[in-house]
Amino acid sequence: MIEKVTERFIRYAKAYTSSNPESKSFPSTKQQQVFMRQLEKELKSIGLSEVDLDENGYLMATIPANGYDKGPVPGFIAHVDTSPDFEGKDVDPQIIRQYDGNPIHLKNGVTIDPADFPEILNYKGQDIITSDGTTLLGADDKAGVAEIITAAEILLNNNKIKHGRIRIAFTPDEEIGKGADKFDVKKFGADFAYTLDGGEIGELEYENFNAAGARITINGRSVHPGYAKNKMINAVLAGHKIISMLPPGMRPEHTEGYDGFYHLLSFKGNVEKAEMQYIIRDHDEIKFEEKKKLIREIVQLINIEYGREVVKMEIKDQYYNMRKMLEPVMYIVDIARLAMERAGVKPIIKAIRGGTDGARLSYEGLPCPNLFAGGHNFHGPFEFIPIPSMIKAIEVILNIAELSKKQ
C-alpha cells in the first residue's frame, strides 16, 4: 500500500493540472482533461466498472458490491486541479526520508523551518514529500485522488472487506470555485459522499464558510493636477476609502476559527479608473448577510459623498455552509468518525475556513462532509505531506466502505 500510493501521488503531482479563473472554457484548462483521460485508462486497468469521463471533465466509476447490494451507496470525491495562485508546472516531488526535525532546505531559498511551521515536528521520523521549492506540490488534491484510487484497488482485490456498491468521482476546477458547476448528482447515484480535500491527519469537517465575491469598479475623473480643485476624482483614493471603512480586524490575517472576514484579492487602477475584488466569508448566516450589507452601505456613502455614482459593485454568493444540509443526516459524519477511530486516527472536528465541492454538492442533494487527505501549507512552495498520513486516509476510506453497508 505504501509503495502504491506514494508512486501514484508522485506521478499525479508531476502532471500539470492548474485551473485558470480567467478561462471561459470548461474545464478551464486543457491539461485537466488530458490528466482525466490518463486517470480514465488507469481506472479501467485496475478493474473498476462503469468508468465514464464526460465532455465536461468529470470522471466517475464504480466499485461493485461484494455481497451487500441493498445498502446505501457511499461515494468518494477528489479534485484534480491545482491552485492557479502559485506555479504548478514541472513539479518535482522530493521524499525526505525519516524527517529529523531540522529545517528542510529546498531550491530558491525556500526553507520549511519548524520555527515557522511547527506542525511539521508532529511527523518527525516519518517520510515526508515536498516539492523542490520552485512550485507548489499539489497535495491539494492529488493526494485525495491517489488515496481514493489506491483504496478502490484494494477493495476490488480484497474480498475480506465486505461492502456495498461504491461510487468514486474526480472533478475539475475546484480551485476556482467551479468544481460542482456541472457535476451530475443523479448520474453519480450515491446516497452520500465524502470529499478527500482536507489537510492534516484527522480532519473531519461538516461546516464551511458562507461565501460571496464582490467586484467593485470605480470611475474617477482625471484632470490636470495643477487645476484639479473641486474637479478631480481620484479612483484609487476612492478605493482606499472603501478599504479604510471596512473593519481592519475582519481581515484574514487577524481572524481564525469561526471568525469571518473581508479579503481584498486585488486592487488595480489609476486616477481615471480602479477595480477591486473582495471575497466575503462567514460561517454564520446572519453575520454573512450583515457583512454584505455593510460593504453595500459603504459604497452608498462614498457615492453620496461624491454626489454621483462613482462606485459600482456587484456581489454574488458563491456557496453556503453545508452544516445546514448535513444536520438531518449526521449519521454519515458518525460513520467517518468511527472509521477514523478504527484506523487509530483521532478525529479533529472543526469548521473549514474555506469551501469544498462538497459544500455545493450538499445543497444539490448529495450530503458530503470533508475528510483529511494529509497535506499541509497548500498552494505554495512550503507544502508537504507525510506518507503515513496518506496511508491512514486510505484506511479510513476502507473502513467507511465497510461501515456504510450497515446503515
Contact by Cβ (8 Å): 379, 197: no
Q: Smallest Cα–Cα separation from 94: which of 179, 170, 25, 9?
A: 9
Catalytic residue among 40, 147, 153, 174: 174
The beta strands (E) that lie in 57-209 are given as 59-63, 74-79, 94-96, 104-105, 111-112, 128-130, 166-171, 192-198, 203-205
Any idea what DSSP says for residue 350? -
**Which residue is it, cell 473582495?**
278
**Catalytic residue among 81, 140, 357, 395, which?**
81
Map grid coordinates 448528482 to a residue.
Answer: 185
Q: Is 174 assigned a catalytic role?
A: yes
Q: Contact at 8 Å (CB) between 368 and 179?
A: no
Q: What's the CA gap between 235 and 273, in Å, rounded? A: 5
Contact 153, 34 (CB under 8 A): no
Decide if 357 is catalytic. Answer: no
Picking from 5, 75, 26, the residue whose alpha carbon sits closest to that of residue 336 is 75
Distance CA 62, CA 293 (A): 45
Backbone φ and ψ of 6, nearest 5°: -65, -45
- CA 168, CA 78: separation in Å to the nearest integer? 9
Which triple of cell numbers denotes residue 331? Answer: 449519521
Lookup: cell for 3: 509503495
Neighbour-count burial for 134-171, b at 16+ CB within 10 Å, e otherwise: ebbbbbbbbbbbbbbbbbbbbbeeeeeeebbbbbbbbb
Kindly compute the dihedral angle of the four CA atoms of residues 287, 251, 108, 28, in this order, to the nearest 10 degrees: 40
CA 171 – CA 186 distance, rounded (Å)? 15
Instruction: Give the residue numbers annotated as catalytic, written as ranges.
Output: 81, 174
